[in-house]
Amino acid sequence: MTQGILALVTSTGCASASALQSLTDAMHIPHLYIQRNAEGSPRTACQLNPSPDGERYTLAARPPVRLSDVMLTLVGELHWQKFIIFYDSDYDIRGLQVFLDQTSRQGLDVSLQRVDRNISGVFSSLFTSMRTEELNHYRDTLRRAILLLSPRGAQVFIHQVCWLMGDTEIMELAHSSLGRMTVVRQIFPLWKDSSVSCMRNNHRISSLLCNPQEGYLHSLEVSNLYLYDSVLMLANAFYRKLEDRKWHSMASLNCIRKSTKPWNGGWSMLETIQKGHITGLTGIMDFMDNGSNSHVQFEILGTSFSETFGKDIKRLATWDSVHGLNGSLKESRIENGMQGITVKVVTLLEDPFVMVAENILGQPKRYKGFSIDVLDALAKILGFKYDIYQVADSKYGSQLPNGSWNGMIGELINKRADLAVSAITITPERENIVDFSKRYMDYSVGILHRKPEEKINIFSLFAPFDLAVWACIAAAIPVVGVLIFLLTRMQMLRSQNPPGAHHNSSMSNSLHSAIWIVYGAFVQQGGDSVVGSVALRIVMGSWWLFTLIVCSSYTANLAAFLTVSRMDNTIRTFQDLARQMDYAYGTVRDSAVYDYFRAKGTNPLEQDSTYTELWRTISKNNGQDYSVSSPSEGIRKAKKGPYAFLWDMAVVEYAALTDDDCTITVAGNSMSSKGYGIAMQHGSPYRDLISQKILELQEKGDLDVLKQKWWPRTGRCDLNSHSNAQPDGRSLKLHSFAGVFCILAAGLLLACLVAALEMWWNSNRCRQEQPKEDKEVNLEQVHRRLNSLMDEDMAHKQIPAPSIEISALDISSMPLSQQREAVRDYPGTGLSVSTFLPEQAHGVGRTLAQGPGSTLPLPHSSSTMPSIHCKHRAPNGGLFRQSPAKTPMPMSYQSVPGGPIPEAIEHSTSI
């Protein structure tokens, strides 16, 4: 800047452009700006701010973004209501904001989908993982889409669909594509004018740039072309300045110095540049009052329908900012040569393509089906009639050893039919001798087989754990139980209390009780609290942690197993079919599928041995063992037994959807480049006309409606279910819990058996202990004997403890809780006192230390007590002699400190 600047030419992004605009506006330097962006036009228009003094020195040499206007016009002409826009990571999505706003106001359904750089890998894995019905639905959606991708990336998408390409650098993509498409690209029409191509305003341009035949020109980016023309425009402006003698010398400029003034000749130079009018590599370049270059032109290319159908590309229309769309997007009509004629059509019965609708004796057969509906739609559009008949040998057509062809292909070769309509596929061998129309449906090979019977396992609740895990758990329960039992015994031996004393711990010291506690904790039903040593607490704590983890893992695995578990189809691909040994498989002899497997299986260059194994089985005994003569025979054979029928996916899918018992299913999602088409004689004049109408039916969606009619998505049978049972997925069936009920029933039966054994054992034991004779004892003699023993043996002993007066009636009159307290208060007393119960109430007595029982039903009397006969079993097994119960007198007892009651008393009769 210190040396002076006449003009500035830049090619940057929007951020740098704003900074450069501020500089040039402040210093009055003419600025020609070419917006440059990453690959993926259209661009986002840069918002250049106006100068504070109203003078703007920046000129936009590259035209503003107009591709959104072009795409909006094309979408309206094509009558698209729903489509997808694919764009790559380099594309600036802000450039579509105006386009999306316009489509939203028009009520169009537009979806945006970003794709990665590795488009081929992403979509290959996506299509491989999809089921056939999902892939067909996705493919139908992609029939209307806009691609904002690089040319190389766009080639992955273009295949038998209608595309709208939005890339200004695209050149050769249209010629290398396989299917129908629409291409939008920016053009520079003056390249084709060879007379003035290299001379522009007395300036010679290198032949590498101006000659359209040179490949170097096509390799340049569009921004570089505008950069070249901007320099050319500046050179033309300088030349005119010098020619008019109005040249202004350059001034030294510096942004740091406050005293620096703008260049005085900047505005004059800007006017000279803006009024200039040149023709460069990009065509005419001049500027409007707002400083933008408005000259931009787009070309719309499309496929044409000629003898080389699907490969020729021609211009359909052009678009410019002044006139808009110039031309029509509709293809030129082929002259209709079928109006009013009658053609002969040969067919073959194949559900659901061709079926007999009505067969009345003496009248021609009437047919229905998907292929018949397509034929009727073509006949209605083209205005022709047809006579249809069935082929005699019921074959599609294959070449015989003598070189001739049978089936429908043979009918066309022998000129006996004009068209062949059925589920006939387009193959290279057939295309060599007959012509085919555009495919109206894609083709793939499916595997039809009977659904495997669902295996019911009533003990499926044990499936979450392996047998070894269950064995370890079963072994851990007694091991831990024995350990707790041993630790409890050791604790009792170390304790000062005798083994028979009362402990606060509620844990039993028996082995079976210890194991029971362990089992109760394992099944999370609680258990008696363990208040023992630290070792016991560590053992139980470790066991509880173990059971928590085991039960949690079992619950999670069981839930996943019961809800997610379903019958899985063992045959999904050709590889699975070749490896398995349960199903025999075959196809129709002398068919396209038969020839396909023969070509793949006998090809020495085929690396996959799967087809070799498949062909070995299919062709066994010249195809007589496993292959069939007709598709209907193969479907019946697949229904009856373990047999897999290889045939057209559309045919076997229809058979599975309409099966009465829903016992068959379809596997295999291998996509093929083949398709179903209408065959006709070689060189037929109807080929291009029928192909064009089929494409129109595809664009209108009529073929999709017909597909939905014959292959409904919600049919009688569910193809996604791979077993005869079709669970709703919401509730668990009874067989899943049958094992639990079996275990419960076994436990109940075992409990009943054990109870019966206990009753039998107790009854036998009671009979063995039955006394041979009862001895009667006089109660008064017992009292006298007891008093005498105490007087003789204990009179010389000084018993400091207070005497205890015990009365049978006093005890019997006490409440039950007080009776227990009365006995519990004298633990040192070795004499057990029994109350005598009335004979009519109880047959035996009970001791004072006995637990809760029935109260003594003695009659209440204030003065005298009636005579009641009581009897009690004597120590020798006999009964006390019945005697009238006298009024009990208090008996005085004294506790013996430091020792038990004398032996004589201990062995005396219990009262």
Which string of b and e fits 146-185 if b means at least 16 CB within 10 Å? bbbbbbebbbbbbebbbbbbbbbbbeebbeebeebbbbbb
Phi-psi domain of 649 (left: phi exceeds 0; alpha: psi -120 through 50; beta: other):
alpha
Cα(443)–Cα(130) distance, integer angstroms: 16
- Beta partners for residue 112, in sequence order: 85
Contact 645/448 with Cβ under 8 angstroms? Answer: yes
Question: Any idea which residue has 């025979």 for tokens?
Answer: 633
The values of phi and psi at residue 368, to 5°, are -145, 170
Q: Which of 831, 833, 829 is nearest to 802 (CA)?
A: 829
Cis peptide preceding 212, ω within 30 of 0: no
For 85-109, give the DSSP string. Answer: EEE-TTS-GGGGHHHHHHHHHTT-E
Contact 218, 171 (CB under 8 A): yes
Binding-site annotation: residue ranges for L-glutamate: 425, 430, 648
Cβ-defined contacts of 429-436 (< 8 Å, 24+):
429/399, 429/595, 430/397, 430/679, 433/405, 433/409, 433/682, 434/409, 434/679, 434/680, 434/681, 434/682, 435/679, 435/680, 435/681, 435/682, 435/683, 435/684, 435/687, 436/677, 436/678, 436/679, 436/680, 436/687
Distance of alpha carbon 676 from alpha carbon 656, whole angstroms: 20
The β-bridge partners of 265 are none
What are the CA-CA distances from residue 650 to residues 297, 462, 586 (Å)? 46, 42, 17
Residues whose CB is less than 8 angstroms from the CB of residue 691 and which lie 6 or more positions away in sequence, other chains included: 305, 309, 437, 438
CA atoms lying within 13 Å on the CB side of residue 422: 25
**In contact, 638 and 450? CB cutoff 8 Å:** yes
Give the Cα separation of 29 and 59 in Å (integer): 11
Q: Which residues pair with 298 in a beta bridge?
A: 186, 319
First to last CA, the chain: 132
Distance (Å, rounded) from C-alpha 527 to C-alpha 456? 36
Distance separating alpha carbons of residues 147 and 886, to the nearest angstrom: 119
Give 882's DSSP letter: P
Pick from 845, 501, 450, 464: which is nearest to 634 by CA?
450
CA separation for the pair 298, 188 (Å, rounded): 9
Q: Are 776 and 871 in contact (CB under 8 A)?
A: yes
SS3 for 82? strand
Compute the distance between CA of residue 633 and CA of residue 635 in angstroms, rounded to an integer: 5
Q: Please report the DSSP string for 6-48 in residue order.
A: S-EEE---HHHHHHHHHHHHHHT--EEE----SSSSSPPPP-P
Annotated binding site: 425, 430, 648
- Closest by alpha carbon to 677, among 302, 344, 396, 334? 396
Q: Which amino acid is at 602?
A: T
Is residue 379 within 8 Å of 385, Cβ to Cβ?
yes
Peptide bond into 771 cis (omega under 30): no
Count of beta carbons in the 10 Å neighbourhood of residue 591: 24
The Cα diameter of the chain in Å comes to: 164
